[in-house]
Amino acid sequence: MRILTLYNRVPFPLRDGGAMAVFAMIEQLRAAGHQLDLLCLNPSRNFINTSDLPDHLFHHYHLQSFIINTDVTFSGALLNLFSRQPYHCSRFYHQGFVELLERKLTENHYDLIVLEAPFVGVYLPDIRRLTDTAVVLRAHNVDHLIWERIASRTTNLFRRIYLCLQAARLRKFELKLAQSVNALVPISSVDGAYFRKQGITTPQHVSPMGIELPHTAVAAERKIQQLGFIGTLDWTPNLEGIEWFLRDVWPKVQEKREKLQFHLAGRKMPVGLQSLHETGIIAFGEVPDADAFLRSLQLFIVPLHSGSGIRIKLLEAMALGLPVVSTTIGAEGIPVVNGTHLLLADTAEEFANAILLIVNDPEFGYQLGTESRKLIAEHFDVGKTGYQLSSFYRDLVHA
């Protein structure tokens, strides 16, 4: 099959979960023998100079991009109040991209069109006008749930009211989009169940991101000296989670284990985090090798209180056999058993105690890591997930 994939940014280089999820999917489909064309917006917030990308990306995926200004502005947010569109999505619509899409669909025949995330769903009416090709929505998250959770934790009254309005608009947009496409591919069974609960009857196939299990796990440590986190830090759920951890959890851990270190890494780290001089905290900013950073840790944390979908870095940490402490939302979408694959904790007291439990019993942490590797091999094997998705797409096209 020939498949056209649309994404709201250029998914290269592979420095964050969204880019990795898109690349994993198109690479799995290419490995299954399908021809992939990748048409991307290149937004100001995540701008990539495509001339710096390696040639094989253009050869393998026929990558094309369109530069667009998606900056959030006060005037834009204000004017959006008089619109019915969610500001999250309307910022990604541009007539120039419609013209590029029209040329693409006129010059080529596609068996399938895949929308990676709802933000490119603003182009579905144009796609329906231009072609009768089946369209799939691949849902990395249930995005309106993220913003509902963020709004609920916002203390500023006016900001909370605005976020609640945008979350409601995004919910209406996202559910209508999910019902309007020919097939829905959520990244987790939790998200898939949520869509069904909302009355979405679109044919559905849950397809988690495939992980290639590393040949070697991290070594079992007799003494845990450093825990850490890595993730894109201009993504609101990550930033809020880290701020909560540093403010409410870390002091409780330090009180009992003052020599323990917390290592923090991630793209677009705010200046306030980069300049931290708190006891035991080392902020690295963006690191050149995420795998090496993960392997330098003896314990990984996921302190998220908003979000949806699946945390890719959590999957990678589990695949390495690292013991993990996560909030329930942080591990959402992964079929973990608390106390078997990781430890779940939602309050600051519980989170600190879970960390200290593993620190005080490294053998227990090693057992958690061993079981988590088994879970990744069983449920997230890259070959298995790719084959299943390819079969679903073939059945959809030939139905």
Rg (CA), the chain: 21
Residue 384 binned pLDDT confidence (cut-offs 50, 70, 90): confident
Distance (Å) of CA 347 to CA 153, 156, 222, 231: 14, 22, 28, 21
Residue carrying structure tokens 């096209």: 397
Q: Which two tokens stand for residue 181?
A: 């496409």
Q: Which two tokens stand for residue 202?
A: 């679109």
Supply the pLDDT for residue 94.
96
Supply the pLDDT for residue 164.
93
Q: What is the mean pLDDT of residues 297-309?
A: 89
Render the burial of 320-342: b for 16+ CB within 10 Å, e for the rest.
bbbbbbbbebbbbbbebeeeebb
Q: What is the pTM of this model?
A: 0.84
**How many CA atoms within 13 Å lie on the side-chain side of 238?**
22
Domain spans in the chain, listed from the N-terminal domain onward: 2-210+381-397, 226-379
Supply the pLDDT for residue 81.
84
Supply the pLDDT for residue 12.
87
Q: Are 270 and 236 in contact (CB under 8 A)?
A: no
Nearest to 355 by CA among 226, 264, 233, 220: 226
Measure the CA–CA gap between 49 and 346, rounded to whole angstroms: 40
Q: What is the mean pLDDT of residues 299-321?
A: 90
pLDDT in tens, 142-183: 999 988 888 888 889 998 999 999 999 999 999 999 999 999
Of residues 136 and 386, the one with the higher pLDDT is 136
Average of per-residue pLDDT values in the chain? 92
Q: Are 317 and 213 in contact (CB under 8 A)?
A: no
Q: What is the mean pLDDT of residues 352-374?
A: 96
Q: Over 80: is that where the pLDDT of 276 sits?
A: no
Q: Which two tokens stand for residue 310?
A: 């699946």
Q: Which two tokens stand for residue 263?
A: 């290592």
Domain 2-210+381-397 matching CATH 3.40.50.2000: the answer reads: yes
Q: Over 90: is that where the pLDDT of 346 sits?
A: yes
The one-character DSSP state at 33 is T
Supply the pLDDT for residue 31.
85
Pairing of strands 135-139, 112-116: parallel
Whether the domain at 2-210+381-397 and the domain at 226-379 fall into the same CATH topology: yes
Measure the CA–CA gap between 333 and 68, rounded to whole angstroms: 32
Measure the CA–CA gap between 162 and 156, rounded to whole angstroms: 10
Q: Which residues contact 237 (CB under 8 A, 6 or more apart)?
A: 146, 149, 150, 304, 305, 306, 307
Q: Are 8 and 118 in contact (CB under 8 A)?
A: no
pLDDT in tens, 22-53: 988 888 898 889 999 999 999 998 899 999 99
Nearest to 144 by CA among 25, 309, 326: 309
Measure the CA–CA gap between 377 and 28, rounded to whole angstroms: 16
pLDDT in tens, 221-241: 678 999 999 998 988 899 999
Order of strands, edge to edge, in the sheet holding 226-230?
281-285, 261-265, 226-230, 299-302, 324-326, 343-344
Q: Over 90: is that where the pLDDT of 215 sits?
A: no
Q: Over 80: is that where the pLDDT of 201 sits?
A: yes
Q: How many CB atoms lie within 10 A of CB 214?
A: 16
CATH of the structural domain 226-379, one choice from 3.60.15.10, 3.40.50.2000, 3.60.20.10, 3.90.226.10 = 3.40.50.2000
Q: Over 90: is that where the pLDDT of 372 sits?
A: yes
Q: Over 90: is that where the pLDDT of 365 sits?
A: yes
Supply the pLDDT for residue 211.
85
Q: Are 184 and 161 in contact (CB under 8 A)?
A: no
Q: Are 321 and 372 in contact (CB under 8 A)?
A: yes
Distance (Å) of CA 220 to CA 105, 228, 252, 366: 53, 16, 25, 6
pLDDT in tens, 63-114: 999 999 999 898 888 888 888 889 989 999 999 999 999 999 999 999 999 9
DSSP notation for 366-394: HHHHHHHHHHHHHH-BHHHHHHHHHHHHH
Q: Are 44 and 69 in contact (CB under 8 A)?
A: yes
pLDDT in tens, 242-275: 999 999 999 999 999 989 999 999 988 988 887 7
